[in-house]
Amino acid sequence: MVVGAALAGVLIGPASLPPGKVLAALVDRLPFVSVDSGLSTREVAILFELRLPRVVLALLVGAILSVSGGAYQGVFRNPLADPYLLGVAAGAGLGATLAIVTAGSGSLLVGVAAFLGAVAAVALAYGLGAAAGGRRTGSTLILAGVAVAAFLTAAQTFVQQRNTDAIREVYSWILGRLGTAGWQEVLLLVPYAAVGITVVLLHRRLLDALAVGEEEARTLGVRPERVRIVVVLAATLATAGAVAVSGLIGFVGIIVPHTVRLLVGGSYRVILPLSVLGGGAFMVVADLIARSVLSPAEIPIGVVTAFIGGPFFLLVLRTSTRAGER
């Protein structure tokens, strides 16, 4: 599925590249293999400088957002949790907006500021949640996250309205973009993805233990607070990295882990690794839709994921409410 999506992502675009030659060119890049693809220099440039980094970036961003969504759902025992719930998005948005209005959208500061904003938002939500007694239940933390998100979104809108000259740049960033992706963004994101995804995956079994409740987890020899903090930090780090290079892309963290859960059952042992793969594939396909529907113009990928994700969110809400009634 992942390979199929990635190939489609590489092959489809405004300039048509012959599939056979593309495959040959890709194989040619493998070590110790030399194949003559027959692609022109221009086609090679399109393949390796435009399409491939974009597909790789989509894979990474999708994997990060999905696995982080699954991780947040496990930590907070709430099916509606995703990277955007705890105010990560709003925090990153505020950080990025501040950087854009002060230094311009091309600045490296955007990424750093988005990361700092995301971490600050999570810390704030976690602190408020814990102060309100959230150590016992996940719901207090979620409410705190919603409050933090609302506050930071308001702050972000305020900053944005005061700097109308930068409003276009802010908007295009907020709606999400993979269009300007190059290898530089990929390299920037790889460490975030590697650390975040690895740490979350290592905790997959302990998240299963949290699923039976904090007190029972304790009787199984698990320290719930420690698992929560480590997993949240890892997921947030990875999310902030993804947000910094691709803007705000919503709902992926809900759609993918839930689809996986429906297909293979409720153990994070399986959900999280499959979310990494499924998330990558989903994002490549979403990006493909984003750049094909109005081709050669592109719609922001955040619009595509929200179009699919909005109804999906309601579906999850409906089924989880029903499960609660039983």
- The residues of the shown chain that bind other proteins, judged by CB under 8 A, are 202-206, 208-209, 211-213, 215-216, 218-223, 261, 265-267, 269, 323
Q: Closer CB to other proteins, residue 181 or residue 209?
A: 209
Distances (CA, A) of 1 to 8, 59, 263, 280, 292: 11, 12, 15, 10, 20
CB 204 → other proteins: shortest distance, Å? Answer: 7
Distance in angstroms (rounded) separating the CA atoms of residues 130 and 318: 28
Of 132, 145, 239, 139, which Cα lies nearest the Cα of 189?
Answer: 239
Q: Residues 300, 287: contact at Cβ < 8 Å?
A: no
Which spans in the chain are helix H? Answer: 2-11, 19-28, 41-45, 52-76, 88-103, 109-131, 138-162, 167-174, 183-202, 204-211, 214-219, 224-246, 252-264, 268-292, 301-325
Which lies closer to other proteins via its Cβ, residue 45 or residue 263? 263
**144 vs 260, beta carbon nearer other proteins:** 260
What's the min distance (Å) between Cβ of 77 and other proteins? 9
Gyration radius from the chain CA atoms: 20
29 or 205: whose CB is closer to other proteins? Answer: 205
Q: How far is the CB of 322 from other proteins (least distance, A)?
A: 11
Nearer to other proteins, 62 or 224 (CB): 224
| Least Cβ distance, residue 225 to other proteins (angstroms) | 11
Between 139 and 184, CB nearer to other proteins: 139
Q: Tell the smallest beta-carbon distance from residue 80 to other proteins (Å).
A: 16
Enter the tokens of residue 274.
């499959």
Total Cβ atoms within 10 A of residue 30: 9
What is the nearest approach in angstroms of other proteins to the Cβ of residue 82?
Answer: 18
Is the CB of 127 or the CB of 269 nearer to other proteins?
269
Q: Minimal distance in Å, beta carbon 233 to other proteins?
A: 16
Query: Shortest distance, CB of residue 323 to other proteins, whole angstroms?
Result: 7
- The amino acid at residue 215 is E
Closest separation in Å from C-beta 195 to other proteins = 15
**SS3 label, residue 64:** helix
Residues contacting 142, CB < 8 A, separation 6+: 76, 78, 80, 81, 85, 86, 129
Q: Pick between residue 29 and residue 218 the one whose CB is nearest to other proteins.
A: 218
Measured CA to CA in angstroms, residue 141 lies from 50, 104, 136, 226, 253 at distances of: 41, 34, 10, 16, 18
Whether the upstream peptide bond of residue 14 has omega within 30° of 0, thus cis, is no
By beta-carbon proximity to other proteins, the closer residue of 51 and 203 is 203
